[in-house]
Amino acid sequence: MIHIIPYSSDFEEGIKALCRIPVSEQIYISLEREPSYLTGAHVQCEVPLIYVALSDESQVVGVCNIGTRRLWYRQQIISVPYLCDLRIDKRYKGLQILARFSKLYLEMHRDGAYPGQTIVFSDNKLMLSLIDKRKQKPHLLYFPYYHSASIYISTFLRKITKRHTLPEDFSIINASKSNLNDLQQFIDNESSKIDYFPYYNLKELNQPYYTGLKLDDYLILYKSGNIVGVCGVWDQSKIKQTRVVDYTPIIKKFRRLYNLFASIRGKMKLPILGEKINYLSLHTILVQNRSTQLFSYLLHYIQEYKLEEEDQYLLIGLDKQDPLYNSLKEFNIARQMTGQYFYVTHNEKTELSVQNKFYYFETARI
């Protein structure tokens, strides 16, 4: 029999063991949470609500986080559920644990004013299959509805050595206490225009939600002395890790040959087994009028000055309909991964209306 109970620090090692189980095919990667699962859960949700599934032997065989975080909607700050970190032991892949977690979510958020949100990547075939089955079986009362809203693309860029000079009236500097108030005002003004954009208060950087993030990790783009763009660069390697666990036999055989090709073409190399993928996450991506040119200035600067090693990457997550996604066309893309943005409800017909025609979701919060 499976027992569902709230998180306790006693379950840390069991949860981290689940996180080390590979989650993809062909290239088997694990999305680890070392040294503390709870730290990573706080980065995903301002108010985590973590539940674990225990076997009769008190072994952790499942975990999920159904906490909340603040977002902008119609120029108001709202609290929205986020479904994340669903991990189930391969021996318990039936619907029982998922149904129990889903029931908890519905009980807690059934009366919520706003739908929850989640990202499911295309290599998570099990979850996508379950979502599809849910559409075919509306009588399953204990499963929420997953409404596909957009295509989400994670893009990796490599370091560049070619220097890009900003136009004469532009400059890029790190955030500091001296420009904090102006920066916060810009972030509030621009993010409030985008429904479901995360609410960020830079005076709260000491909170668990911002673990590992410093004020000077934000880069500010100025034009003629006025802020016109901002984005942050977050090194989360001490919070969560993406490790290559194994390859299929065919990839193992040709890995070195592929890496030679990747070096020439600027693509992502395939690490040796057991190695972590080294990357920095871009976040709080805000530029006036969603200008692709302004975003391009920031990206070139980050690639040149923030990526320290040849095999270090910059990770950017954007809705395919976000105007800023078009900025990436001028860059040599090392690798891309595709997923879907879902909003999650208890109602089959619920629709989420956003004034912008795209969704913004922080890759650093996945």
pLDDT tens by residue, 98-113: 889 988 999 888 777 8
The CA distance from 103 to 9, in Å, is: 23
Q: Residue for token digits 């040294």?
A: 35
Does position 174 have pLDDT exceeding 70, yes or no? yes
pLDDT of 43-76, one tens digit each? 999 999 999 999 999 999 999 999 999 999 999 9
Q: Residue for token digits 């995360």?
A: 198
pLDDT at 259: 95
Alpha carbons within 13 angstroms on the beta-carbon side of residue 340 total 16
> 273: pLDDT confidence band, cut at 50, 70 and 90?
very high
Does position 139 have pLDDT exceeding 70, yes or no? no
pLDDT at 351: 67
Does position 311 have pLDDT exceeding 80, yes or no? yes
Q: Residue for token digits 């958020």?
A: 109
Q: How far is CA 182 from the centre of its chain?
A: 27
pLDDT at 364: 96
Residues in the chain: 366
> Comparing C-alpha atoms, which of 125, 128, 60, 129 is closest to residue 89?
60
Question: For 147-158, what is the mean pLDDT?
Answer: 95
Query: Distances in Å between the alpha carbon of 97 and those of 59, 87, 92, 104, 119?
Result: 14, 10, 7, 11, 20
Tell me what the pLDDT averaged over the chain comes to. Answer: 92
Query: Distances in Å between the alpha carbon of 295 and those of 89, 183, 209?
Result: 41, 16, 25
> 141: pLDDT confidence band, cut at 50, 70 and 90?
low
> Comparing C-alpha atoms, which of 335, 296, 347, 349 is closest to residue 154?
335
* φ and ψ at residue 92, rounded to 5 degrees: -125, 45
pLDDT at 309: 82
The CA distance from 234 to 223, in Å, is: 24
> 355: pLDDT confidence band, cut at 50, 70 and 90?
confident
> 140: pLDDT confidence band, cut at 50, 70 and 90?
low
**63 contacts 50 by C-beta, under 8 angstroms:** yes
pLDDT at 126: 77
The CA distance from 20 to 329, in Å, is: 34
- How far from each other are the two terminal CA atoms of the chain, in whole angstroms? 30
The CA distance from 209 to 219, in Å, is: 19
> 138: pLDDT confidence band, cut at 50, 70 and 90?
low
CB atoms within 10 A of CB 157: 24
The CA distance from 214 to 206, in Å, is: 9
8-state DSSP, 165:
P
Whether the predicted model's global pTM rises above the 0.85 cut: yes
Question: For 249-257, what is the mean pLDDT?
Answer: 94
Question: For 330-341, what is the mean pLDDT?
Answer: 94
Least confident of 21-25, 169-173, 318-322, 343-347: 21-25
Of 223 and 137, the structure prediction assigns the larger pLDDT to 223
Question: For 347-366, what is the mean pLDDT?
Answer: 86
8-state DSSP, 11:
G
